[in-house]
Structure 1
Amino acid sequence: MTRLSLAQVPETSFFVRRSLASMHFGSDETEQLTHLQRYADGVWTPERIEARLAGIDDSDQLALEMRRLRREVMVGLVARDVTGTGGLDEVIGVMTALAESAVHHTVRVHSRELAKRYGVPIGTNGEPQDMLVVGMGKLGGAELNVSSDIDLIFLYDEGGQTQPVGEFERARRQVSNHEFFEKLAKRVIPALNDLDGTGFVFRVDMRLRPFGDAGPIAVSTAMLEEYLYTQGRDWERFAWLKARVINRPVFMRQAAFDDALKLLYSLVRPFVFRKYADFSAISALSRVHEMIRTQTLRRQVGKQDEINVKLGRGGIREIEFITQTFQIIRGGREADLRGRSTRPMLRLLAERGVIDNAVAERLIDEYEFLRNLEHALQYVDDKQTQILPPDDESRARIASMLGVAPDDMMRRLIDAQAFVAGVFDSIFKTDVPTEESPGWQTGWDVADEEGRRACEDRLTELGFSDVRGLSSRIDRLLNTRIKSIRNADVKRQFKKFVIQIAENANQWAKLKTSSVPGDEVFHRYLNLLDVIAGRPTYVALLNQYPSASERVGRLLAMSRWAADYLTAHPLLLDEMIDDRAVLYDDFSPVDWRDWSENLRRQLLACEDDQERQMNLLRDAHHGAVFRLLLSDLAGRFTVERLADQLSALADAVIELVIDLAWRTIPTRHVERPKFAVVAYGKLGGKELGYASDLDIIFLYDDPDQEGVANYPKLVRRMLSWLTVQTSSGILFQIDMRLRPNGENGLIASSFEMFKRYQHNEDGNGAWEWEHQALTRARFCAGDPDIGRAFETERRTILLQARDPAKVAKGVVEMRQKMLEGHPNNSDLFDVKHDRGGMVDIEFVVQMLVLAYAQRHPELTNNFGNILLLEMAGRCGLIDPELARKSMKAYRHYRKMQREIRLSQGENAPARVSHEAAAVDRAVVLELWQAVFGQYA
């Protein structure tokens, strides 16, 4: 079906037909069509709208001109849209611009007229004051409908009194600022809202102001702040998410007006967006939505054949709620998720992986369809309606405006509503445990002997052993830890959740991946509850979504290290709330460049708040590590692949920190520092573990003398960024002892100084063990030119001719020192430090590189111990079969080390029975003998 022709527009829209007649174009259809063509030809840009109103200073003339302008704009929009010339973006853009311009000029003209009588409002700071008009809803989001009302809130910044100043010095009577702005508001509303022979401008709705219809019509920002933080309700957080000041200054300087806006947004932002991931938004919005849906159903009693495309099931409001809920949850931590417009935010949520990309694109498609349908309904008679009538004639009229057949329109509408409703339900579906808790005696949670006994009896029935210890911790949590919380519902949520853990912990402990009893799982969960006791929103979430609490329980049962990590960083519960946590067993490699760029944008968005930047960086790093951990526990990683990912993540973080720290140095002399970070040890060999320290040094290559002062500053600031404890924890522990001259050396070395030191030109340079460390060194972040120069120099040093016997003697001596530094007095075998363990393999590899790289230059490639063993076998330096067995042993050791750390905690020594390591140890001792035996 084709779009309507221009001649069909008046036949389809009663509003257009009536408007053309009221414009006195006569009854001749040809003349009317000529004028309609004129309106349809031009796009109503903000500049064109502004030009119509800017020169008017009389309120009566302005009221008339605004009504004429709206009628012309509306006629043009209808004609362009239904004929296919315009579109949704044009319609909402023009209507938003019209509202902004109309509101501003109405405030301007009436402010000046009042000032002639009362003077200019002056604040306590002696500066003029203006009314701030806050647009809410679709106006705030710049998504205004053609026949929509506008939700406004009138604010002013400071109290005070009007004064006869400047051009208003003849004002005869002074009033308080509050009285002035109240009078102004009472003029602005009818100027926009009242209907006369020419029509109206916009219907004005003031019910979103503090205290609703019972509240003052103009509110100070101080009163607004007190209201929001003492009486603000859940639904008001969603309303204020889209809030935007839409007028411009009249009396104030632009800079002062901008400061007032910043102050307003700064006091509203913490009300809307919480510092932590705010999962209570789901239940809060569920209540709001249920209330709206109930009201909608009541209005439709006896009108079941009507369809509400906005408030009905699967309508526009549900798409907006889906978007706003995730914004509220994450916007406190991710500033770019605080946008006011629906479609851009849906795309960003998909980009962040919060919503599936295909789902987001479909939601956007359906949103655009439903908004176009809504506009068509309003085009008919300029009524604020979202109801699709049941009769065939009305539906045929609406379908023709959309350019489709009526049956096709209805099929599309039904499909759209079904899809949107399905997505909405999948997000807001809850499975709340019943209030009744069979088996738990009344008073089990009371802090007395009878309550303790009741709790212990129930824990015994459930199969726990440490009932005394568990009961004591439960008592401490419920009757001490959260005692100060006044909210009875919060306390009830904690009590319910303790029951949920108790009744499931033994089941979680029976997982094939778990090796701990249910008592230990319970204790781990109580550790987590102790930490999140001050953030009851998490407990409410876990109560509301048992599937999420089960995921957490299974994770706690699988890994002590994971339990400790989650307890240390409870924000990571965000990762467990939906099905994303299940998808980590289908891991695909992370593009750390994209990850870095996304994070960089977020960091730069809060560049004026370093503490927030540091927390954001830590939260992002912890989240990335946690996602790798979940994939690891799901069995999706080899040891090498996991280490590669963790090393790449560390590189990305260091790269970001270089940039962030450099920006904070006011004396920086170049835009990009000529500076690089070199990694040694685990990071250098890309064998990083979850909790590994970073062995790094800092080099610069800059002829500018200012660099001598600036680069040490950069290093100190980087160390602060990386190691300082903030409310979000730390990033890494840093070890810089491998820099030239060790702990006595400069924290930042010029590249030339590094070269001289490595070549030991003055006899005070690098020791042989420092060249040994170079075998596992690599450039990891910073200036690539310095990175390439470092790699060239590293190869040059490693390619030097060396006496194998001398190298062997030095390596053996160093190995003995390490052995003495890590005594093992247990009956177990230490897979890392004991003879025949991992360190022996690593020292063998380093010996082979130092002693034979001149003959076999390929050994200088930093490929890691496993590949270098294979290369040594191919080069004939060791027996190829022995090399293969040694590679297998090293893999096995690293796997055992990882499993021990995951199951027993970060600080657990990697020790196993001698029987478990016997085969691998024998291979490694054979390798050691083969390489070093000839030099003994």
Structure 2
Amino acid sequence: MTASDPTSSAAGGAADQHGARATPEPAHAASVAPGQGPGTMAAGAFAVTAAQALQPDGDGAGAGGDVLYSATYSHYARRVLQARPDLPEILAAAVTQPLTRAWMAARLQALQAPSTDAEDAAKRALRRLRAEVMCAVIERDLRGLATLGEVTGAMTDLAELAIQHGLAVLGDDLAATFGRPVGAHSGEVQELVVVGMGKLGGRELNVSSDIDLIFLYDEDGETQGGPRSLSNHEYFIRLGRRLINLLADVTADGYVFRVDMRLRPNGDAGPLACSLGMLEEYLVVQGREWERYAWIKGRVVSALDSAHAQRTAALLARLTTPFVFRRYLDYGVIAAIRSLHAQIRSEAAKRSGGLPGHGVNQRSFNIKLGRGGIREIEFMAQVFQLIRGGQDPALRIRPTLEVLAVAVERGLLPAGQAAQLGDAYRFLRQLEHRLQYRDDAQTHHLPTSPDEQQAVARMMGCADWPALLSRLAMLQEPVAQQFEATFSDPDAGPCEALWPDIVIHDSAARAQDNSQDPSHGEADSAVPCQRLQAAGFTDCNALLDRLRAIAVSLRYRALSESSRARFDQLVNRALDLAARQDDPDSTIGRFIDFLEAISRRASYLSLLSEYPQAMDRVAQTLHASRWAAAYLTRHPQLLDELLDSDALAGAPDWAAFRKSLHERLLAAEGQVEQQMDILRREHHAETFRVLLQDLQGMLTVEQVADRLSDLADAMLDATLETVWRQLATRHCETPRFAVIAYGRLGGKELGYASDLDIIFLYDDEHERAPEVYAAYARRLITWLTSHTAAGALFDVDTRLRPNGAAGLLVTSFDAFRRYQLREGDNTAWVWEHQALTRARFCAGDAAIGARFEALRGEVLRQERDAAALRAEIAQMRGKVAEGHPNPTDLFDLKHDRGGMVDIEFTVQYLVLLHSRAYPQLTRNAGNIALLREAGELGLIDATLALAVGDAYRLFRARQHQLRLDGQAHARVPPASMAAQTAAVRTLWRAVFGED
């Protein structure tokens, strides 16, 4: 059996990713706690002799009637106690507190007898230590004193200690003959790097587990310093063979761990030890999907106390991380896990003979591989890691329970489902251990004899076997249901099957027939066109031509067989879904654009194939908005958002969003491109959530603008912090630097594709401050505007800074203050004070932000001459109109007279003229609220103010709809807005005295 067989024991180890790190956790309710077993005794009151432990009834009674649980319930422990009369006294001291690595190391030293044969002495000491650890673990666990994490952690510590001790002893022995291996390039002494896979790598080792190992080394070369020389390759193979023998050889004292090496490159056919270069080539060229599961848990378990070992471990991590965790959302793993699980379950069924409740062999059910078993919980945790771990480093952890916890934190898994999986996992792992305590056998099958069943039930704290089965079924059923919901093969649903059955076959037939009769192909189009027309499509010939063009395109023919099958399935579904819309022709056109854009990304094809509900939402999105269709086509990674119903329904939690974004950026510290991609992905995802809620009518235009503005603030803050940490010229830990928003962002009226009108202020007396902050601002703009693989973030306009494009990119606060208050020769224009009415602090140093807000109020409250102000603003309005001509007969909602700009200029005039008398007008409350305020103050007619406010709201809503429909200009028939424009023009005349 080779390592390429995913159902082999080697691959089983690869997929054997379960357990919990040795961290404190409450003992499960089903664990045996003091007082629950057949008898109790105070920890430390051990007076059990081997003869007592081996009494026929196996009650393990000690002095005074106390009970030693390990002797009572474990045949293995009884045998060890018979062979080791000294063991009860050792256990008495050991079980009073959790087992630690330090205790094991001390016991190993005590057990290491002086010997001329160091290897033989190590063999005996390690085996005797293993017996002590096993008995102590069994005793503490059955007494309810040990958590699951303690048990798996103790076994993992034992394995690591044994490996590291063995390497030290064997290395010294080999050095006497061959010296030490030395790298040909570096000249450094090389070390064998032992990688623990599966349960060992995840610190989840069960009590009778094999350990899956891979032997690696960094550089080729030769050994130096001994009478004889070997190549490094041969040296490490010899060392590896002897280490396996040291651990796995069965002697009179037993063994330490069985060792499985079949997860190494090429399995049994590959060399026992390989270089990192060979491993890299293997993973790139031959690495299989199931090997990605194996390497999730891969961890160096040999000693890392030398600089060389630490560098080699770091090199290994850089090599394996991109193999396991793809940079994109990798939904292709769902089908791969489904296939692997089917093979594993088939093997389990063959071995066990049935499932619980299914026939006469039900009691041999495998709790690891069977339905609702440990493996299914592991797979459900791994699918999150493999799909998303490339983008979220928090998921690159090993213990299953910790993965589930992160999935809940990230909103990937409901807390209730995670709790069900966690409860089942702990119970199954504890049951697994109790099955193995009986005879130190690596078994996962439920017992068949009544005596064994009763013993196991009592060990689990159950009254009898039926009670245990009932508890087991109650925990496993939710696991099985969740697994089947996650990995079930989705039903493609009904479809017209126009693709590929007709289109592709028709294309081939046309090509063949046209070579003989060119007119034959045209007549042949009638049947598929009739079917398209019957489905609801109008322009059938154009649609059929486009489908045929795809069928014969190089892009389509270059797809892998699996990707082409998924693409075919999705085109059929797209035809079905588009036909159900009220505008099927435009919807299918957008659908085909979208599918062509993602056709080379197997993960996206997999996502839509696996999740029909995502495909349905794609159809709704493409149909609802041309702009949304283009946005999704440009950023197909947003498909993932269509699966999160909770996120699509709820309001954003900006504090949590900022915290999560901060953590992800820190995790990618020093990797500029990756950090820029993180910013863009998070911004696109949150924008898309807003867009989907908008399309579903869940948000008003004002709410959309508020959310997009809050999102922009959060992105600016995150970018400021990240860029400052990387600025080589920075002169302090925290920049005294702020971003001020103007325009749409300043008024919290941001749209989906709005520019950011911003300026940069600093308040820092350091002599290098102007230079440093100028470089900082330039770098910020680069980060915000650059196009990366994840797209763009924002377009930025900084021309509203003092002196516009001719001015400095960053301005000291004092200089800005003098400019705005018109102190000196260089002073602000009236239009700059107009802009200030919609300005606000949005990111950076809050103290500077507070000073800006105070200055803004001071500037707006200045006394102004009404006639001069009126003339300035009217003149500026004329310039804006000249810059935005409208050659059509339609009404431009924004720029034509009677439109949005007229309203905004009117409000700005009222604020600048009257804020001195009425400071409440300085609030950046938006045009509608300020109009109402002005009406209530009697500055304008109150009824007219409300009418114009309603007009502004309608203009914005209509503009928003037209933008979503992909219109370049927000223009409508004039008659549709006649009443609104009349009200606006009436207000303009009332305020400015001219039209």
**TM-score between both structures, scaled by the size of structure 1:** 0.93
Contact 1:481 1:533 in 2 (8 A): no
| Counterpart among 652, 672, 677 of residue 610 in structure 1 | 672
Segments of structure 2 that go 5 or more residues without pairing to the other structure are: 1-31, 42-66, 355-360, 515-520
Given the alignment of the two structures, is residue 473 of structure 1 paired with residue 546 of structure 2, yes or no? yes
**Matches of 2:94 and 2:453, distance apart in 1:** 26
Aligned with 1:41: secondary structure?
coil
- Cα 1:855–1:261, aligned 2, differ >3 Å: closer, same or farther? same
Q: Following the alignment from structure 2 to structure 1, what is the Cα–Cα distance between the partners of residues 88 and 526?
A: 86
Using the TM superposition, give the Cα deviation of residue 445 of structure 1 relative to its aligned residue in structure 2, in angstroms.
Answer: 4.6
How far 1:408 sits from its partner (Å)?
A: 4.3
Task: Tell me the amino acid that sits aligned with residue 442 of structure 2.
Answer: Q
Count the aligned residue pairs: 907
- Asked if 1:204 corresponds to 2:264, the answer is no
Matched position secondary structure for 2:791: coil
Deviations 1:494-513 (A, max 9, x none): 23332332343221x22xxx
Question: Per-residue deviation at 1:246?
Answer: 0.7
Pair 1:78 & 2:138 matched: yes
* Deviates most, 425-434 or 887-896: 425-434
Change beyond 3 A, Cα 1:659–1:83: same
Q: 2:268 aligns with which of 193, 210, 213?
A: 213
**CA-atom RMSD in angstroms:** 2.2
1:565 to 602, 608, 631: 631
- 1:28 alignment partner in structure 2: none
Name 2:243's counterpart in structure 1: 188
Out of 781, 798, 811, the position equivalent to 2:860 is 798
Structure 2 partner of 1:930: 990
**Which SS does the other structure have where 2:552 is aligned?**
helix
Supply the distance in 2 between the matched residues of 1:483 and 1:426 (Cα, whole angstroms).
31
Deviations 1:556-592 (A, max 9, x none): 111111101101111111122x3x2x445532x2121
Q: Are the aligned partners of 1:585 and 1:636 in contact in 2 as well (CA < 8 Å)?
A: no
Q: Deviations over 1:814-845 (max 9, x none)?
A: 11111111111222211111111111111111
1:282–1:325 Cα contact (<8 Å) kept? yes
Alignment of 1:118-133 (within 5 A): 118-125=178-185, 126-133=187-194
2:341 is aligned, of 268, 289, 296, to: 289
For the 8 Å contact 1:123–1:160, the answer to whether it is kept is yes
Equivalent residue number for residue 167 of structure 1: none
1:375 corresponds to: 433
1:188-247 residue CA offsets vs partner (Å, 9 max, x unmatched)? 112111222222111111121122222221122222222222222111111111111110
Secondary structure, in 3 states, of the residue corresponding to 1:732?
coil
> 1:54 offset after TM fit, Å?
6.7
Q: Do the aligned partners of 2:670 and 2:726 also contact (CA within 8 Å) in 1? A: no
Distance in 2 separating the partners of 1:555 and 1:697: 35
Q: Secondary structure of 1:133's match?
A: strand
Structure 1 pair 699–297 and aligned structure 2 pair: CA distance change class (3 A)? same
1:401 offset after TM fit, Å? 2.4
Aligned partner letter, 1:383? A
Q: Deviations over 1:57-107 (max 9, x none)?
A: 921111111111111111111111111111112111111111111111112
Correspondence for 1:418 among 477, 495, 510: 477
Match of 2:222 in 1: 161
Give the equivalent residue in structure 1 for 2:973.
913
State the Cα distance separating 1:398 from its structure 2 match.
2.2
Q: Which residues in structure 2 correspond to 1:714-729 (within 5 Å)?
A: 714-729=776-791
| Whole-angstrom distance in 1 between the partners of 2:372 and 2:917 | 72
Give how far 1:343 is off.
Answer: 1.2
Q: Give yes or no for contact 2:332–2:602 (8 Å, CA) kept in 1.
A: no
SS at match of 1:740: coil
Query: Conserved in 2, the CA contact under 8 Å of 1:3 and 1:402?
Result: no
Structure 2 Cα separation of the partners of residues 718 and 384 of structure 1? 58
Asked if 2 retains the 8 angstrom alpha-carbon contact of 1:693 and 1:734, the reply is: yes
- Which has the larger displacement, 216-225 or 563-572? 216-225
State the alpha-carbon separation in 1 of the partners of residues 587 and 751 from structure 2.
Answer: 24
Structure 1 gaps of 5+ residues are 26-31, 165-170, 511-516
Say which of 515, 522, 531 aligns to 2:597: 531
Q: Is the 8 A contact 2:496 2:576 kept in 1?
A: no
Look up the SS of the partner of 2:492 in the other structure: coil
1:120-164 CA distances to partner (integer Å, 9 max, x unpaired)? Answer: 112221222111111111111111111111111111222222222
Matching of residue 14 in structure 1 with residue 75 in structure 2: yes
| Equivalent position SS for 1:444 | helix
The answer to whether 1:94 aligns with 2:154 is: yes
Whether 1:462 aligns to 2:532 is yes
Per-residue deviation at 1:456? 7.5
Partner in structure 1 of residue 652 of structure 2:
590
**TM-score (normalizing by structure 2):** 0.88
| Residue 486 of structure 1, CA deviation | 6.1
Structure 1 stretches of 4+ moved >6 Å: 54-57, 434-437
Tell me which moved more, 144-153 or 255-264.
Answer: 255-264
**Matches for 1:732-811 after TM superposition, within 5 Å:** 732-811=794-873
Shift of 1:622: 0.4
Task: List per-residue Cα deviations over 1:502-561 (Å, max 9, x = no partner).
Answer: 343221x22xxxxxx322212212211232132123223323433322221221111111
Any conservation in 2 of the 1:772–1:850 contact (CA below 8 Å)? yes
Amino acid at match of 2:343: M
8 Å Cα contact 1:70/1:201 also seen in 2 = yes
Tell me the amino acid that sits aligned with residue 564 of structure 1.
A
User: Secondary structure of the residue that 1:697 maps to in structure 2?
Assistant: strand
* Equivalent-residue separation in structure 2 for 1:233 and 1:435 (angstroms): 34
Aligned to 2:793: 731
Moved more, 485-494 or 326-335: 485-494
Q: CA deviation at 1:665?
A: 1.2
User: Which AA in structure 1 matches 2:235?
Assistant: F
Q: Which residue does 2:64 correspond to in 1?
A: none
Secondary structure in structure 1 of the residue aligned to 2:203: coil
User: In the alignment, what sits opposite 1:142?
Assistant: 203
CA-CA distance at 1:455 after TM superposition: 6.8
Name 2:416's counterpart in structure 1: 358
1:3 corresponds to which residue? 36
Matching residue within 296, 311, 328 for 1:276: 328
Distance in 2 between the 1:395 and 1:723 partners? 67
Identity among equivalent pairs (%) = 46
Measured at CA, do residues 604 and 585 of structure 1 come closer, stay the same or move farther in structure 2, by a change above 3 Å? Answer: closer
| Contact kept? 2:932, 2:946, Cα under 8 Å | yes
Query: For structure 1, which segment, 328-337 or 432-441, has the greater mean C-alpha deviation from structure 2 after superposition?
Result: 432-441
Q: Does the Cα contact within 8 Å between 2:74 and 2:439 map onto a contact in 1?
A: yes
CA contact (8 A) 1:447 1:475 kept: no
CA displacement at 1:367 relative to structure 2 = 1.4
1:418 is paired with a residue whose SS is helix
After superposition, what is the alpha-carbon deviation per residue over 1:466-519, rounded to whole angstroms, capped at 9, x for unaligned? 344434433443433425636333233323332332343221x22xxxxxx322
Post-superposition Cα deviations, 1:868-915, rounded to whole Å, max 9, x if no partner, equal 122112211122222222222111111111111112x2x521112222
Letter in 2 for 1:651: D
Pick aligned residue for 2:764 from 694, 702, 710: 702
Alignment of 1:553-702 (within 5 A): 553-576=619-642, 578=643, 580=644, 582-583=645-646, 586-587=649-650, 589-702=651-764
Native 8 Å contact 2:68 2:139 kept in 1: no
Whole-angstrom distance in 1 between the partners of 2:160 and 2:441? 21
**Aligned mate of 2:232, from 161, 177, 198:** 177
Report how far residue 770 of structure 1 moved.
0.3
Task: Indicate which of 434, 438, 444 corresponds to 1:386.
Answer: 444
Partners of 2:958 and 2:221 in 1: CA distance: 73
Q: Classify 1:438/1:855 alpha carbon distance in 2 versus 1 (closer, same or farther; 3 Å).
A: closer
Matched residue SS, 1:38: helix
Other-structure match for 2:392: 334
In structure 1, distance between residues paired with 2:882 and 2:206: 77
Query: For the structure 1 residues 584 and 99, does the alpha-carbon distance in structure 2 shift closer, same or farther, using more than 3 Å as the test?
Result: closer
More deviation, 81-90/109-118: 109-118
Of residues 265-274 and 47-56 in structure 1, the stretch that sits farther from structure 2 once superposed is 47-56
Residues 585, 94 of structure 1: CA spacing in aligned structure 2 closer, same or farther, 3 A cutoff? closer
Of residues 390-399 and 230-239 in structure 1, the stretch that sits farther from structure 2 once superposed is: 390-399
User: Is the 8 Å Cα contact of residues 202 and 399 (structure 2) preserved in structure 1?
Assistant: yes
Q: In the TM superposition, what whole-angstrom CA distance separates every residue of 1:25-54 from its partner, at most 9, and x where no partner exists?
A: 4xxxxxx76554223114321222234447
Whether the 8 Å contact between 1:693 and 1:733 is mirrored in structure 2 is yes
- Cα deviation code 1:370-423 (max 9, x no counterpart): 212211222222211122224443333223323343354333211111011111
Residues 840-861 of structure 1 deviation map (CA, whole Å, 9 limit, x = unaligned): 1111111111010011101111
